[in-house]
Structure 1
Amino acid sequence: MKYMATYDLMETMRVTNQWLGATAQAMGAFPAVGNANPFFKMLGAWGEVTERSFSRMVTKPDWNIASVVGEDGRDHLVDVEVTVAKAFGDLIHFKVDDRPTKDRKILLVAPMSGHYATLLRSTVVSLLPDAEVYTTDWHNARDIPVSEGKFDVEDYTLYLVDFLRELGPDTHVIAVCQPAPLALAATAYLAEEDPSAQPRSLTLIGGPIDPDAAATDVTDFGRRITMGQLEESAIQRVGFKYKGVGRKVYPGLLQLSSFMSMNAERHSTAFSEQIMRVAQDEAQEHDKHNRFYDEYLSVMDMTAEFYLSTVERIFKGREIADNRFVVNGKPVDMSKITSVAVKSVEGSEDDISAPGQCIAALDLCTGLPDDKKASHVEPGAGHYGIFAGKSWRKNIRPLVLEFIDANSDVPKSNVAPLKKKKA
């Protein structure tokens, strides 16, 4: 599987299906057959949905955050600015024009798990009125030349360390899903290496701190498969079409097939119903189906070393859960976190990171006082709901902002001692 030909074959199949969809859509649009025969109406509808779906698979979505309403009641334009540019990902800032700087400064750590950071668009929108929002914008590995080197879980952690140093100690971190254990590790790393750069608080949402705390299909898969099997079945080399030609990756298209297969019947029904809506002229450009699948189908390649090291070290080896994680040759001790407030958020119906996996972070922080620890389990919430759905909007977001405000004061350990005046 680790060949460019396999990667290019998948891309060829995608382009072929996109072309078939576009051709069918054009045939169904001929005036002579448009309303005369329902077959052509259905053919055109199938083509429209198919062409859109397969073209989205290689398109990075836009943030599409035009403005935010300020306290003055006016709409303020939002500019996406790159604060730190790096090879495998940038730190970006959603700058609200003509608005006083907010006291809350939030770093939203986006997952690198197949989708772009824009998966957190609704999370960003919900936080913008009340905070200065920054996020990690990870790059598609297919577009990164081999000359840039590797990128694994240790490199990811060091990227977070650099971003936190850039933002300063008045930052509040919210890590969503996959990066939760690495955000915890980055905080512990700073506690020893650069205490003054530690954030004020760390909110971990639905992350696999201890994957064995509660079994899910994800953790079961990690136990069943060997690393050799995983590398042979999942890793390919980027083909000749992209800048990262020759780089070993876990391709986005392969990830997408895995995502879709987990709920194949539901996705099949959704697309069948959308084709009927298009045929009956009931579909809209930005209807519920298109809004969801335009994002869901947009996938990115992960570097092979990041994917494999995540499975081997976070899930199989449980290095974070057992407090044995090493970054850049230095052991990372979670007990060194003594001033950063830590909160875990879980959904009772989360089938990706089940309740129990994320709250394990609090037990690891043995040097942190109990009044600096908090946890919340949202009843009836699934994985998506705890950071972007109804549960986030109605309940979790206010709780997270309360937690941030309660821990915004400068910790004593971060306050520089006053210099004595000379007599």
Structure 2
Amino acid sequence: MKYMATYDMMETMRNTNQWLGATAKSMAAFPVFATIPNPALQWLGAWGEVTERSFERMVAKPDWGLDSFTCEDGRDHLIKVETVVERPFGDLIHFDVQGRETMKRRILLVAPMSGHYATLLRSTVKSLISDAEVYVTDWHNARDIPVSEGKFDIEDYTLYLVDFMRELGPDTHVIAVCQPAPLTLAATAYLAEQDPSAQPKSLTLIGGPIDPSASPTDVTDFGHSVTMGHLEETAIQRVGFKYKGVGRKVYPGLLQLTSFMSMNAERHMTAFNDQIMRASKGESSDHDQHNRFYDEYLAVMDMPAEFYLSTVERIFKEGEIAKNEFVVAGQKVDIGKITTVAVKTVEGANDDISAPGQCVAALNLCTGLPDSKKANHLEPGAGHYGIFAGKSWRNNIRPLVLEFIDANSAAPAKAKPAAKKTTGKKAAAK
């Protein structure tokens, strides 16, 4: 019960702060106070506005916000988010541009399950929709999944990816961002041995911890310094009575958010103080830069305890992927079995979460893949976020990834759906 009580206590604190913010905002807005102009009241109202919004976002799932897209015909086409595969812990969704001819490029974007929703990749999805049919792994918040659905660890995650790849078929190009990179590599190797006809055409790994020990960071140091018993005792809680997943063991989103914020506490404090001052002067807006960023950043989700603990133990501590010793459902996965799927790695020179060297290690593990199907890119001056959603992604990395995809496609990227596939394949761009 103590773990459940702790979870409910954290939710109570969040709820209380949201209420305090709403109360301050309402009180400062009383018409009678307009007769006595006072900067302190304006500041109180601004504090309430920012505080209420911030704590409210912590339990809200952000919307994709992708309503329409202007195609080459000059018309706006509505975007419909369709669920292709529905599963208890995550769905495979498709961004269907209504009325547009089906694009030849088919991209599966594997989103992280690391505390934020898949909507963290909104800008990445938006940048790819113009050139491809985009599919995304939309992971669910563990607090909303009943205990009756069972466990979900990194082996289950890998098998989900296997099922999603099978569903989309062999003419798919997979892009894995950050945390899922090692498990996506394992899922591809699993298919190479168990169901070769379902393998994707290419695999792009962006800023993922394939070999965390190759270039240590604060994240990898934490994984090695803490014991599993201590981690389970301090980080794992049971979902409280408010949600459908009551009783499920999770790594709570609010606890994760505390860790995220503490890494750059001074910067976040400055950002919120500045926003309060802008709000007090009437210079803030609903969708200004601060709100756009923090509406997404503060929206966190609970992770299944089994997934979090097995990730720390098997990926970071034991390095099972790095040592090519990963096992899924009793079957050893040999990454060397990948012989036809082109593999590209992307790293940021200034990435302080998955430092350069961690992701490119995947190429050395692909011992059965010819060099002509291996590629890597190190983006100068780019941090972790920039390599999949920032300026570096938009201006440089995205064009390179699309070029890599086209070089390993069975048909031209812009061919009509009725066009027959060609048999020739180009070498991967290096």
Q: Report the TM-score when normalising by structure 2.
A: 0.95
| Residue 102 (structure 1) aligned with residue 103 (structure 2) | yes
Equivalent residue number for residue 70 of structure 1: 71
Within the alignment, does 1:39 sit opposite 2:37 as a pair?
no
Query: Does residue 1:30 correspond to 2:25, yes or no?
Result: no
Aligned residue runs from structure 1 range 202-221, under 5 A: 202-221=203-222
Aligned equivalent of 1:255: 256
Give the residue type in structure 2 aligned to 1:11. E
Query: Structure 1 residue 2: deviation in Å?
Result: 6.0
2:8 counterpart letter in structure 1:
D
1:22-421 correspondence to structure 2 within 5 Å: 22-34=22-34, 36-409=37-410
2:7 maps to amino acid: Y
Note closer, same or farther for the CA distance 1:142–1:333 as it changes in structure 2 (3 Å cut).
same
Q: Classify the secondary structure of the residue corresponding to 1:130.
A: coil
Distance 1:40 1:367 in 2: 68
Q: Secondary structure in 1 aligned to 2:59?
A: coil
TM-score when scaled to structure 1?
0.96
Q: SS of the counterpart of 1:319? A: coil
Amino acid at match of 1:154: E
- Runs (4 or more) in structure 1 with deviation over 3 Å come to none
Displacement of 1:409: 2.1
What residue in structure 2 maps to residue 419 of structure 1? none
Distance 2:2 2:313 in 1: 19
Letter in 2 for 1:213: A
Whole-angstrom distance in 2 between the partners of 1:236 and 1:268:
27
Q: What do residues 164-210 of structure 1 show as CA deviations (whole Å, max 9, x unaligned)?
A: 00000000000000000000000000001100000000000000000
Aligned partners of 2:194 and 2:18: how far apart in 1? 50
Distance in structure 1 (CA, Å) of the matches to 2:322 and 2:68: 41
Unaligned runs of 5+ in 1: 417-423
Q: Distance in 1 between matches of 2:342 and 2:33?
A: 65
Count of matched residue positions in the alignment of Structure 1 and Structure 2: 412
Distance 1:215 1:86 in 2: 35
The CA distance in 1 between the partners of 2:359 and 2:328, in whole Å, is 21
Asked if the contact 1:28–1:40 (Cα under 8 Å) also holds between the matched residues in 2, the reply is: yes
C-alpha deviations, 1:119-164, integer Å up to 9, x for none? 0000000000000000000000000000000000000000000000
Q: Which runs of 5+ in 2 are unaligned?
A: 412-421, 424-430
* In structure 2, C-alpha distance between the alignment counterparts of 1:204 and 1:3, rounded to whole Å: 36
Q: 1:12 maps to which residue? A: 12
Alpha-carbon separation, structure 2, partners of 1:396 and 1:74:
28
| Number of the residue aligned with 2:426 | none
Q: Shift of the alpha carbon at 1:239? A: 0.2
Cα distance change on mapping 1:66 and 1:406 into 2, 3 Å? same
* Preserved contact between residue 216 and residue 352 of structure 1 (Cα < 8 Å): yes
Matched position secondary structure for 1:80: strand
Q: For residue 239 of structure 1, give the secondary structure of its aligned residue in structure 2.
A: coil
Give the secondary-structure state (helix, strand or coil) at the position aligned to 1:160: helix
Instruction: Tell me the alpha carbon deviations over residues 268-289 of structure 1, each in whole angstroms, 9 at most, x when there is no partner.
Output: 0000000000000000110000
**Letter of the aligned partner of 1:16 in structure 2?**
T
Listed one character per residue, the Cα deviations across residues 60-100 of structure 1 (whole Å, up to 9, x for unaligned) are 00000011111112111100000000000000000000000
Q: Percent identity?
A: 78
Distance 1:318 1:2 in 2: 33
RMSD over aligned CA atoms reads 1.2
Cα distance between partner residues in 1 of 2:33 and 2:169: 63
Report the 3-state secondary structure (helix = DSSP H, G, I; strand = E; otherwise coil) of the residue aligned with 1:79: strand
